Amino acid sequence: MPQTGITERLLAWRHGDEQALVELMPLVYDELRRLARRHLRRERPGHTLQATALAHEAYLRLVDANRVEWRDRLHFFAIASRIMRRVLVDAARAKAADKRGGGAEHVTLVDVPVGDPDEGLEVIALDTALEALAAADPRKARVVELRVFGGLTVQETASVLKVSTDTVGRDWSFAKSWLKRALKK
């Protein structure tokens, strides 16, 4: 059931209304976070696609597909990819803060460590590495953002960035290697 206002803002933004984007971001942020929680499964199989599946689901829920062109759809994913990155990094940061004792002054009923405390924190490293990559080559960082966090295909990414699919392919390959190396350091 598309939410009112989102489609309008998406269209307005495409027509140059920057304020519309400002209003759009928190709506999409909330929706993505909500969907992410709802879909939490700890079972590993079938788990890996979630971030991108979520962007798609958010799109279906938020945007009235009958009223937008396919380019608007891509624009939505372009926004969603950035927001998804923020959702994940924010959550990981919050978790890291807890680990440092954010909740330690509270008296807890049963003091039991739960799960792997480091789980989920790698995304912070990925985020930092992406920042560094963006400093050296913004387009490559954007390619990663669109593909990893937004689930866009090479063609869709090319269309959003207005470059050829070959360029996206090369950027993607190089950026992946670059990030993998950065994460191993």
Partner 1 sequence: MTDRLRRIEDLYHAALAQPSRARAAFIAGACADDEDLRREVESLVAQATGGGTAFETVLADAMDAVAARVSPGDRLGPYTIVEFIGQGGMGEVYRARDPRLQRDVAIKVLRATDADPDRQRRLLAEARAAGALNHPNILVVYDVGVHQGSPFVVAELLVGETLRQRLARGEVSAASAVDLATQIAQGCEVAHAKGIVHRDLKPENLFVTSDHRIKILDFGLARRTPVEPGAVSLETMTATSIGATGVSDAGAHAAMETRAGQVLGTAGYMAPEQVRGERADHRSDIFALGAVLYEMITGRRAFARSSSVEAMQAVLTDEPPDPSSMDAAVPAELAAIAKRCREKRPDDRFQSVSEVRAALEACRGVRSWDARSPGDLASQDLTPRTTPRTRWPAAAVVAALVGSLGVTGWLMRDRIVAGGAGAPIKALAVLPLTSVSKDAEEYLADGLTDALIADLARLEGVRVISRTSSMTYKGTGLPLKRIAEDLNVDAVVEGSFVREANRIRITAQLIDAKTDRSLWSNTYERDFRDILTMQGDIARAIADEVRVAVTPQVRAHLAVARPVNPAAQELYLRGRYFLGKGLEADIRRAIADFTEASTAEPNYAAPYAGLADAYTALRSIYLSPHDVMPKARSAALKALELDPELADAHVSMGGVFMYYDFDWARAEAEFRRAIDLSPNHAVAHDYYALYLASLGRFDDARREAARARELDPLSLMILVDTGFVHYLARDYTQTIAMNQRAIDLDRNFWPAHRDLGLGFERVGRFSDAVASLEKARGIETNSSVLEMLGGAYAAWGKTADAHRVLDELTGMAGRRYVCPYEVATVHAGMHDVTSTLAWLEKGFNERADCMPWTFADPKLDALHGHPQFQALLKRMGLPQK
Applying CB under 8 A, does 110 fall inside the site for partner 1?
yes
Nearer to partner 1, 14 or 170 (CB): 170
Q: Tell me the C-alpha distance between 148 and 54, whole Å.
A: 12
Q: Tell me the C-alpha distance between 106 and 109, whole Å.
A: 10
Among 19, 122, 128, 155, binds partner 1 (CB under 8 A): 122
Whether 75 contacts 90, CB under 8 Å: no
Applying CB under 8 A, does 108 fall inside the site for partner 1?
yes
Whether 168 contacts 143, CB under 8 Å: yes
Q: Rounded to the nearest 10 degrees, how much is the dihedral formed by the CA atoms of 15, 18, 23, 29? A: 90
Is the sign of the CA dihedral 4, 6, 7, 12 positive or negative? Answer: positive
Among 20, 80, 83, 123, binds partner 1 (CB under 8 A): 123
Among 47, 69, 71, 132, binds partner 1 (CB under 8 A): 47
Is the sign of the CA dihedral 148, 151, 153, 158 positive or negative? Answer: negative
Residues 129-168 that bind partner 1 (CB under 8 A): 136-137, 148-149
- The site string for partner 1 over 3-42 (x = CB under 8 A, - otherwise) reads ------------------------------x--xxxxxxx
Applying CB under 8 A, does 97 fall inside the site for partner 1?
no
Q: Tell me the C-alpha distance between 75 and 22, whole Å.
A: 14
Helix 70-97 to helix 6-14 angle (10° resolution) is 110
Backbone angles phi, psi at 119, to 5 degrees: -60, 130
- The site string for partner 1 over 49-88 (x = CB under 8 A, - otherwise) reads xxx-x--xx--x---x-x--------------------xx
Among 15, 16, 18, 48, binds partner 1 (CB under 8 A): 48
Residue ranges in contact with partner 1 by CB under 8 A: 1-2, 33, 36-51, 53, 56-57, 60, 64, 66, 87-89, 91-92, 94-95, 103, 105-115, 119-123, 126, 136-137, 148-149, 170, 173-174, 176-181, 183-184
